């Protein structure tokens, strides 16, 4: 039995079609991340799964039950929002209890679930505070706690880390990963941040303009992208794309090569002039204007020094090169 | 140094302007209050003097309290104002929630239609309203006044509250839906507390015109049992003689409930502004 099954889900707002025939299955205990640029329909898809929006057509099945017409509270889901969405007039404890009270759960069970969640997220000291008296990180933990107490079949996260600062973001990311290891429920997680996608996901769903571009494990997506969009969206610095013909390849229209697979050599197949250099300590990024008018990025591990304007030769391993047709589809 | 000095002047100027305005606004009230405690002679000889041992008199208050059913008028005014405000806020907020929250055909059009009343004074319809009240047998009842004032207050209430409700976090309402709150619970428990400042604004805007209105009480409910305070006070203003002691005493007493209501609402205003927001 799968935790979530979407079949031909479409969603339109008026005449604007936002989701196009989404098919997806999430297995029990799986962590699936939706990633894609802003406005591609990730949140809308999540809200359709949650029942906050009705699908225009198609069906949603959660834990083997068709919930297409079931209200959100009866779908066996819990959701964590980017803006935390805590009830401002309730204490931390009140926030975590509300859903259970609405479901008329016995008091003893509510107390036990809240205690468990608060222990897991180290919220014990804050149970009597109101959201206004908590920091951003604490608020997001309360929001996660509120989701945990529902003991859902499926967790839904909508960009839960976007409002946190960088340091806190990493901690909370690890906390979410640990949470998934501990409670082992299926989770669907929406983000536009590829680092979150790569580090958390068992499987990544790459979306663009309301369509699924590719589904696969993080390494599959990285090493074996189906098309140019996926190749360029995942990976930072982004993959280099050059006209294949200009470099003597007769396969496909576009040649894609990741910055780390390029090396500086004395005389290679490519040559150009260094236009910019970024030294990050652990790695050095090099922008090179090729003689053939393409600009490429090289990612060298370790510390190097180059001068802007310096002429360099560049080469790569053909096995790492990817080829794409005119339509952007991968040619294998 | 320079900057600090400029800031001092800024705040002196700001306080000066505000104090002047406060004095201007309070002066008539002050004059009414002091004169309500003076003899008739003293009112006319020295209108700006504080009541002294010679001039102090409560004759105005005595007259007012003895005259007719002054307490009854007071009660009528209070009932009409409070009940009308309650309905304006309740129905206004409910309509605003529907307009702000739900997508349906004609949403914008309905919003515009409801806001139309802001531009058209309800008094234009007085004759029709009177006919309707006669037909439904509501003349000389407080219900008639409450209905009219509710209608009069709704357009602005809907307009202001819709804007505020649109700003209540979508995520918060959705969190409530996932936790199993009904749409009513979301409205009453999540949204209303967050738009309390706007509700207080609407209440304050509506309260004074209702409390002070002479027009509709005179036309719709002039009977002894349903007279409001403003209408009731008119007995002291005659065509030839006006009992100024009584008029001033009545006006002074009329201020008190409005003041109390205002304090209650302005508390809400301030509390709403300072309470923790969603994020
Ligand atoms: N309630 C709505 N009404 C009309 N259009 C909407 C609504 N919600 C979202 N959209 C549109 O749907 C598209 C996808 O939005 P969303 O799912 O929020 O994107 P993402 O979360 O990927 O950034 C956007 O173009 C947005 O303008
Ligand atoms: Mg989104």
How do residues A262-299 score in pLDDT, each as one tens digit? 999 988 888 999 999 999 999 999 999 998 888 999 99
Q: How is residue A147 written in tokens?
A: 């989701």
Q: Does B169 touch chain A (CB under 8 A)?
A: yes
Answer whether A49's CB lies under 8 Å from A79's CB: no
Say if residue B226 is preceded by a cis peptide, omega within 30 of 0.
no
* Mean pLDDT score across all residues of chain A: 93
Confidence label for B271 from pLDDT (cuts 50, 70 and 90): low
Of B23, B41, B59, which residue constitutes the final position of a domain? B59
- B8 and B138 in a common domain: no
Nearest CB among A71, A82, A131 relative to B276 is that of A131
DSSP track, A44-99: HHHHHHHTSS--SEEEEEETTEE-TTS-GGGTTEEEE-TT----TTS-HHHHHHHH
Please tell me whether residues B119 and B189 are part of one structural domain: yes
Which residue of A18, A79, A88 to mutate against B (max B Cβ within 10 Å)? A88
Are A92 and A47 in the same domain?
yes
> Is residue B29 domain-shared with residue B104, that is, in the same domain?
no
Q: Is the CB of A44 under 6 A from ligand 1?
A: yes
Same domain, A111 and A211: yes
* Residue B143 and residue B233 in one domain: yes
What pLDDT is attached to residue B237? 81
User: Is there a domain that residue B252 lies in?
Assistant: no
Q: How many CB pairs under 8 A join A and B?
A: 75
In a domain, B256, yes or no: no
Number of Cβ atoms within 10 Å of the Cβ of B142: 21
Predicted ipTM?
0.89
Mean pLDDT across the stretch A90-97? 94
Which ligand lies nearest to the CA atom of residue A46 in the structure? 1
Mean pLDDT on A109-123: 94
CB B43 within 8 A of CB B27: no
Give pLDDT, residue B104: 87
Task: Provide the CATH number for the domain around residue A180.
Answer: 3.40.50.300
Q: How far apart are CA A48 and CA A44, in angstroms?
A: 6
Whichever domain contains B104, its CATH number is 1.10.3720.10
State the pLDDT at residue B263: 86
Which of B171, B172, B179 is nearest residue A102 as measured by Cβ atoms?
B179
Residue B6 sits in the same domain as residue B141: no
pLDDT score for B274: 52
Q: How many CB atoms lie within 10 A of CB A65?
A: 13
Enumerate the residues of chain B whose CB falls inside 8 A of the CB of residue A98: 179, 181
Decide if pLDDT at B279 tops 50. no
Instruction: Decide: A87 in ligand 1 pocket, CB within 6 A.
Output: no
Same domain for B40 and B176? no
- Last-in-domain residue among B38, B59, B80: B59
Task: Tell me what percent of the residues of chain B surpass a pLDDT of 70.
Answer: 94
| Residue A170 and residue A280 in one domain | no
Residues A120 and A269 in one domain: no
The string of DSSP letters for B111-130 reads HHHHHGGGTS-GGGGHHHHH
Structural tokens at position A27: 């297995």
Domain boundary among A195, A211, A231: A231
Give the residue-averaged pLDDT of B239-256.
84
Q: How confident is the model at residue B276 (pLDDT cuts 50, 70, 90)?
A: very low
Q: Are residues B11 and B126 in the same domain?
A: no
CA distance B165 to A144: 26
Number of domains in chain B: 2
A59: tokens are 């069906």
Query: Nearest CB to A130: which of B177, B180, B276?
Result: B276
What pLDDT was estimated at residue A28?
94
| B275 and A CB contact within 8 Å | yes
Q: Which residues contact B178 (CB under 8 A, 6 or more apart)?
A: A50, A52, A72, A73, A77, A78, A79, A99
The closest of A196, A193, A205, A192 to A174, measured between CA atoms, is: A196
* Chain B residues in contact with A163 (beta carbon < 8 A): 279
Q: Are residue B126 and residue B234 in the same domain, yes or no?
A: yes
- Least distant ligand from the CA of A162: 2
B200 CB contacts (<8 Å, ≥6 apart)? B265, B266, B268, B269, B272
CB contact under 8 A, B275 and A132: yes
Tokens linked to A264:
């500086």
A265 CB within 8 Å of a chain B CB: no
Is residue A216 located within the same domain as residue A241?
A: no
Which are the contacts of B185, defined by CB distance < 8 A and separation ≥ 6? B176
Q: Quick check: A99 and B179 CB within 8 A?
A: yes
- Cα torsion A127, A131, A136, A141: sign: positive
Q: Is B175 on the interface with A (CB under 8 A)?
A: yes
Q: Is B73 helix (H, G, I), strand (E, B) or coil?
A: helix
Same domain for A205 and A263? no
Contacts of B194 (CB under 8 A, 6+ apart): A88, B168, B172, B272, B278
- Per the structure, the complete domain to which residue B41 belongs is given by 2-59
Is B264 inside any structural domain?
Answer: no
Instruction: Note whether A121 and A201 are same-domain residues.
Output: yes
Residue B106 DSSP SS3: coil
Q: Final residue of a domain: which of A231, A263, A281?
A: A231
> Domain range spanning residue A151?
2-231
What's the gap in Å between the CA of B278 and the closest CA on chain A?
Answer: 6
Domain assignment present for residue B251? The answer is no
Strand partners, A270: A314
How far apart CA A20 and CA B279 sit, in angstroms, is: 32
For residues A92 and A132, membership in a common domain is answered with yes
Identify whether B34 is part of a domain.
yes
* Of B16, B39, B59, the domain-final residue: B59
Q: Considering A215, A231, A247, which residue would you say is the last residue of a domain?
A: A231
pLDDT in tens, B178-206: 999 999 999 999 999 889 888 988 998 89
Query: Which among A72, A87, A139 is the nearest to B178, CB-wise?
Result: A72
- Which CATH number fits the domain that encloses residue A286? 2.40.50.140
- Considering the domain architecture, whether residues B153 and B215 belong to the same structural domain is answered as yes
CA B112, chain centre distance (Å): 24
- How far B176 CA sits from the closest chain A CA (Å)? 8
- pLDDT of the residue at B11: 86
- Per-window interface: B 28-87 vs A, CB < 8 A: none
Q: Do residue B92 and residue B227 come from a single domain?
A: yes
Whether residues B96 and B142 fall in one domain: yes
Per-residue pLDDT tens for B107-131? 999 999 988 888 888 999 999 999 9
Residues A207 and A81 in one domain: yes
**A98, A154: one domain:** yes
Cα A330 from Cα B90, distance rounded (Å): 60
Closest ligand 1 atom to Cα of A190 = 21
Distance (angstroms) between ligand 2 centre and the Cα of A43 equals 4
Same domain, B26 and B83: no
Would you state the pLDDT for residue B272? 55
Number of structural domains chain A divides into: 2
Lowest-pLDDT choice from B64-68, B198-202, B243-247: B64-68
- pLDDT band, very low/low/confident/very high, at A18 (cuts 50, 70, 90): very high
Looking at the structure, tell me whether residues A124 and A95 fall in a common domain. yes
Query: In this structure, is residue B113 part of a structural domain?
Result: yes
User: Across residues A242-263, what is the average pLDDT?
Assistant: 89
A261 shares its domain with A226: no
Contacts of B174 in chain A (CB under 8 A): 47, 50, 52, 72, 79, 81, 85
Listing DSSP states for B200-237 in one string gives: HHHHHHHHHHHHH--HHHHHH--SGGG--HHHHHGGGB
Query: Taking 80 as the threshold, does the pLDDT of residue A300 lie above it?
Result: yes
Contacts of B106 in chain A (CB under 8 A): none
CB neighbour list of residue A266: distance below 8 Å, 6 or more residues apart: A313
Q: Is A24 helix (H, G, I), strand (E, B) or coil?
A: strand
C-beta of A13 in contact with ligand 1 (< 6 A): yes
Three-state SS string over A268-305 comes to CCEEEEEEEEEECCCEEEEEEEECCCCEEEEEEECCCC
């Amino acid at each position: 039995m799968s935790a979530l099954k979407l079949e031909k889900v479409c969603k339109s707002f008026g005449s604007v079609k936002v989701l196009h025939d989404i098919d997806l299955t999430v297995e029990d205990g799986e962590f699936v991340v939706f990633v894609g640029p802003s406005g591609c329909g990730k949140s809308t898809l999540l809200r359709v799964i949650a029942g906050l929006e009705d699908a225009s057509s198609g069906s949603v099945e959660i834990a083997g039950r068709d919930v297409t017409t079931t209200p959100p509270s009866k779908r066996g889901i819990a959701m964590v929002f980017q803006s935390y969405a805590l009830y401002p007039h309730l204490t931390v404890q009140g926030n975590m209890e509300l859903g259970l009270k609405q479901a008329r759960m016995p008091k003893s069970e509510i107390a036990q679930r809240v205690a468990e969640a608060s222990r897991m997220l180290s919220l014990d000291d804050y149970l009597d505070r109101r959201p206004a008296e908590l920091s951003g990180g604490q608020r997001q933990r309360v929001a996660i706690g509120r989701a945990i107490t529902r003991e859902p079949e499926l967790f839904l996260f909508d960009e839960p880390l976007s409002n946190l600062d960088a340091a806190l973001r990493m901690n909370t990311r690890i906390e979410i990963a640990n949470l998934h290891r501990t409670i082992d429920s299926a989770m669907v997680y929406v983000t536009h941040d590829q680092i979150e996608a790569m580090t958390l996901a068992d499987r990544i769903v790459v979306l663009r303009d309301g369509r699924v571009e590719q589904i696969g494990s993080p390494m599959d997506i990285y090493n074996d992208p189906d098309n140019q969009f996926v190749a360029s969206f995942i990976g930072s610095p982004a993959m280099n794309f050059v006209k294949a013909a200009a470099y003597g390849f007769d396969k496909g229209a576009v040649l894609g090569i990741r910055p780390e697979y390029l090396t500086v050599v004395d005389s290679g197949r490519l040559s150009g002039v260094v236009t910019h250099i970024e030294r990050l300590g652990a790695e050095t990024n090099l922008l090179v204007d090729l003689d053939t008018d393409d600009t490429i990025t090289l990612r060298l591990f370790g510390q190097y020094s180059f001068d802007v304007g310096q002429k360099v030769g560049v080469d790569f391993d053909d096995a790492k090169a990817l080829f794409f047709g005119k339509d952007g589809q991968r040619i294998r | 140094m320079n900057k600090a000095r400029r800031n001092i002047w800024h705040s002196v100027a700001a306080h000066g302007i505000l104090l002047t305005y406060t004095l201007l606004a309070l002066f008539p009230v002050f004059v009414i209050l002091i004169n309500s405690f003076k003899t008739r002679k003293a009112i006319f000889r020295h209108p700006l003097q504080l009541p002294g041992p010679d001039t102090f008199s409560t004759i105005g208050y005595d007259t007012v309290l003895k005259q007719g059913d002054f307490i009854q008028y007071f009660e009528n005014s209070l009932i009409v104002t409070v009940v009308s405000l309650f309905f304006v806020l309740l129905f206004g907020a409910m309509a605003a929630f529907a307009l702000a929250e739900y997508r349906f055909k004609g949403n914008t059009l309905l919003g515009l239609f409801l806001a139309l009343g802001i531009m058209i004074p309800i008094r234009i319809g007085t004759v029709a309203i009177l006919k309707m009240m006669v037909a439904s047998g509501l003349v000389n009842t407080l219900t008639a006044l409450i209905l009219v004032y509710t209608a009069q207050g709704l357009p602005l209430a809907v307009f202001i509250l819709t804007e505020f409700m649109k700003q209540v976090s979508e995520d918060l309402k959705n969190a409530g839906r996932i936790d199993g709150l009904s749409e009513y619970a979301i409205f009453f428990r999540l949204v209303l507390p967050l738009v309390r400042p706007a509700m207080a604004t609407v209440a304050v805007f509506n309260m004074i015109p209702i409390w002070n209105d002479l027009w509709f009480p005179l036309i719709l409910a002039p009977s002894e049992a349903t007279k409001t305070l403003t209408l009731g006070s008119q007995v002291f203003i005659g065509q030839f003689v006006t009992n100024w002691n009584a008029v001033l005493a009545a006006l002074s007493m009329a201020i008190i409930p409005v003041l109390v209501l205002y304090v209650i609402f302005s508390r809400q205003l301030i509390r709403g502004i300072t309470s923790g927001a969603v994020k």
